[in-house]
Structure 1
Amino acid sequence: MNYIFYAVPFFFLLIGLELLADRLRGMRNYRTADTLNSLSAGVLSTTSGLLTKGLGLLTYSIAWQHLALFDLSAQSLWVWLLAFVFYDFCYYWNHRLGHERNVLWAAHSVHHQSEEYNLSTALRQTSTGFLLGWIFYLPMAIVGVPPLVFLTVGALNLLYQFWVHTRHVPKLGWFEWVFITPSNHRVHHAQNPVYMDRNYGGVFILWDRLFGTFQEELIEDPVVFGVTTPLASWNPLWANLQFYVHLWHDAMRAESRWDKLRIWFMRTGWRPADVAAKYPQAKPDLGQFVKFEVPLGLGQTCYAVLQFVPYVAAGTYLLGRGAELGSGTMWLGLAWMAFGLYVIGAWLENRPWACALELARLLANWPVLWLAMDLGLLPFGAVAAWLLLAYSLVSLAGLFGLPRRETALVL
């Protein structure tokens, strides 16, 4: 069963309830551009995951078939309980090394780039974690956990983590000693020195207590969310590529061949001495920390939200039908999704060329629709064409009718 697909409506329902709680309690944990950026990263992650998850599943299945030490049955309850706990143990080490090694942080950093902390942050996921993440779960295959059990407990582990991304739930007493909670996960998303690289568990906080990585949330040290090298962008593609590009530049600048290689696997933040000397990186002062923001008019903001809605719908549709679709269709869907989300990010950044890019996006929807119908992705072709026509006309009216602020992002 595709648990994530069926959970999508509940994700958005809970986000809506959290927005209502924000309003009633006089809090401001959501900013439109930040939320759209988090959701864009999530949509991109689930869509690309339909093409890439086969790598992890294939390697897991091969290891299970040829290396399993025990013949564990999916019919036994104790196997499921063992697998649930075992998965979280493997997740702990995957997560921990995702913070402690450069190449793994390049993938995982996407989840931490938001400078807000709310339920939309939970959906902000990487699109490149498939490259190395599968390695950490091979011990489960070697023990003999069947692939079906592995996939199911993995989905349940991910679903559990959704609710802990909120600022509305206080400490929960004894529950804090055993499980990951909103309080101890807020610590994990902090950039305060006292909180850095702590609380890695997915469901259980016991691993952090056992291996010395636990940190309690402190009243006297309020959490500042985000990463120490800010993304400073609303572009979900750049969010996924930023740290890889940074590592690549440092590797190319390094004089030592050994440094060019080992930079990828050194502790996060390590740089070759010669590169650090020639190209120093200043870290923002936490005491003067200012959240990234680009001024936008209300009309521009509403336009971006409305343009994002079709991508949520399309992403959910692809997630639900992913198993039935061919790789060519999925690549088309991913390309369309990536380009559209990139354009929305440029719009939110108020780039000078955002209008021209947006016009190109709207025009490109027509050949994409034709290809989608030709591939059988959209069986209701005539209805889709009329809907696209109405959507395009409304969008064009908004595009040319909205005033744009002159303040644009300059990097």
Structure 2
Amino acid sequence: MASVFEKLQNELTFKNLRTMFYIVTPNETTYSRVEDVPDYFEKARPWFLLLIFMEFIVGRLTDKSHYALNDTITSMNAGILSLLPKIGGRTMSLTLYTYIYENYRFFDVPIDSIWIWIFAFLAHDLAYYLAHRAIHEAGIFWSFHQMHHSSEYYNLSTALRQGCIQEMGTIFFESLQSFITPPPLFLAHKYLNTLYQFWIHTEVIPKLGPLEYILNTPSHHRVHHGRNPYCIDKNYAGVLIIWDKIFGTFEPERDAEKPVYGLITNVKSFDALWLQFFEFKAIGWDKGWMKNKKGEDRFPGIWNKIKCVVAPPGWFRGLPTKQFFWWRCMEDPGKGIPKIEKTVVRYSQPLNLYETLYCVALFLTSFGCSTEFYPHRNEMSWQLFFAYSAYLVSHIQAVGYYLDKR
């Protein structure tokens, strides 16, 4: 445990903080080999913890941000789970990306050129917009991503609540860059683009004036996480909000109707694995067999049941859709979305003091284990790798059961 605290202290540098805001130069983020690209996520973990703690304090003083222990632990445990499936400890898409680049790239580019760095930044940000939009709108693809939206709170810990197999739904879009962008630049921008999105998950930071016209900001992203009718399927941007404005998915935050967070129908559970995968069943099977008030199938016939899987998650027969890229999206995403209830009640199962301390202890041990595990996972035997993974998953599941009072 001493090495954990030592690591946290060593990584709390100003340079690592800059990377979280994309405040970097091409020279310091350009590498000739994939192996040389730093694991920016691992270096940022201490800053995640410190900034979450600072936001919690500011929120308590200003009443602008809300935390709940059960929700925060669930979000951070999801962050731990999301790192388990990464091939080589990096990203699922890197192997395919490298293969395409090495065999099918259009031409060779000088990797140390500032212009190719700028191109890689814009290409990845556009690819992120398309991928993010697809995993919201393209039917069962939503199942890969809904975990990130399952929190009924909106704070920095929500940024860590990631789908553990989400990258399986975004590989196609990320690989579009592989015909031009060298893999080391792709990997660096993927890290930096994702890290940038950490700080926009907060209610503490207000609108940022002229920056709102260009950048994705906390205000814009609050709309994206809202379940109000005007928030649905809006503001998919990673770093630059211009893509939403170009493709017609931009919506500003309304001062008169602040976003309320969570899913259209909240899951009401802290079970980590259920939260990750329940939507595959909900869209892939349950939706197709829904009945109306008369007991009749809402989606009669095999074809309509298949459409449930590939149509937008909010689609029902009679609602108009339109084509975008290779999928169809709702013409009016807010149509049929229930209005926010007058009194919003968040799901929670109160714990007594001993249960709370036990859950915190379980979380701290799994967090400490993950801090030792991830930097060394590539050097481990398969037996040790799976032992660590089983330990982490079992601890995380145990916490979820306690938080649900099961």
User: TM tier, shorter chain?
Assistant: 0.7 to 0.9
Deviations 1:138-182 (A, max 9, x none): 22002x211111111000001100001111111000000000111
What is the deviation of 1:298? 2.8
Residue equivalent to 1:45: 82
Look up the SS of the partner of 2:59 in the other structure.
Answer: helix
What is the deviation of 1:295? 1.6
Deviations 1:314-334 (A, max 9, x none): 222222112322444333322
What is the deviation of 1:345? 0.4
Look up the SS of the partner of 2:310 in the other structure.
Answer: coil
The whole-number CA distance in structure 1 between the counterparts of 2:287 and 2:219 is: 38
Determine if the alignment matches structure 1 residue 319 to structure 2 residue 378.
Answer: no
Residue equivalent to 2:365: 310
Q: Once superposed, which parts of structure 1, at least 4 consecutive aligned residues long, lie more than 6 Å away? A: 281-284
CA contact (8 A) 2:151 2:158 kept: yes
Residue equivalent to 1:338: 393
What is the deviation of 1:263? 2.7
The whole-number CA distance in structure 1 between the counterparts of 2:304 and 2:286 is: 9
| Pairing of 1:102-251 with structure 2 (within 5 A) | 102-142=139-179, 144-250=180-286
Determine if the alignment matches structure 1 residue 256 to structure 2 residue 301.
Answer: yes
Question: Which segment drifts farther, 1-10 or 255-264?
Answer: 255-264
**Closer, same or farther in 2 for the Cα pair 1:4/1:19, shift >3 Å?**
same
CA contact (8 A) 1:113 1:226 kept: yes
Residue equivalent to 1:29: 66
Question: Which segment drifts farther, 40-49 or 171-180?
Answer: 40-49
CA contact (8 A) 1:42 1:124 kept: yes
Question: Which segment drifts farther, 210-219 or 47-56?
Answer: 47-56
Look up the SS of the partner of 1:174 in the other structure.
Answer: helix
What is the deviation of 1:24? 1.9
Residue equivalent to 2:345: 290
What is the deviation of 1:264? 2.3
What is the deviation of 1:25? 1.7
Deviations 1:81-118 (A, max 9, x none): 21011101000010111111222110111101100010
Deviations 1:234-259 (A, max 9, x none): 11111111101212333774763334
- Which structure would you say has the larger Rg? 1
Look up the SS of the partner of 2:342 in the other structure.
Answer: helix
Instruction: Give the TM-score normalised by structure 1.
Output: 0.79
Q: Which runs of 5+ in 1 are unaligned?
A: 274-280, 352-411
**Closer, same or farther in 2 for the Cα pair 1:282/1:342, shift >3 Å?**
farther
The whole-number CA distance in structure 2 between the counterparts of 1:243 and 1:271 is: 17
Look up the SS of the partner of 2:230 in the other structure.
Answer: coil
Residue equivalent to 1:265: 310
What is the deviation of 1:80? 1.4
The whole-number CA distance in structure 2 between the counterparts of 1:187 and 1:40 is: 25
Paired amino acid for 2:178: A
Instruction: Give the TM-score normalised by structure 2.
Output: 0.80
Residue equivalent to 1:381: none
Paired amino acid for 2:302: R
The whole-number CA distance in structure 2 between the counterparts of 1:120 and 1:282 is: 27
The whole-number CA distance in structure 2 between the counterparts of 1:270 and 1:334 is: 37
The whole-number CA distance in structure 1 between the counterparts of 2:303 and 2:88 is: 34
What is the deviation of 1:283? 6.2
Question: Which segment drifts farther, 66-75 or 326-335?
Answer: 326-335
Question: Which segment drifts farther, 264-273 or 20-29?
Answer: 264-273
The whole-number CA distance in structure 2 between the counterparts of 1:200 and 1:246 is: 23
Deviations 1:190-210 (A, max 9, x none): 000011111111100010111
The whole-number CA distance in structure 2 between the counterparts of 1:75 and 1:35 is: 41
Deviations 1:45-92 (A, max 9, x none): 012325686641111111112221121232222211210111010000
CA contact (8 A) 2:288 2:304 kept: no
Residue equivalent to 2:13: none
The whole-number CA distance in structure 1 between the counterparts of 2:388 and 2:301 is: 42
Paired amino acid for 2:206: P
Question: Which segment drifts farther, 54-63 or 176-185?
Answer: 54-63
Q: Which runs of 5+ in 2 are unaligned?
A: 1-37, 290-298, 319-335
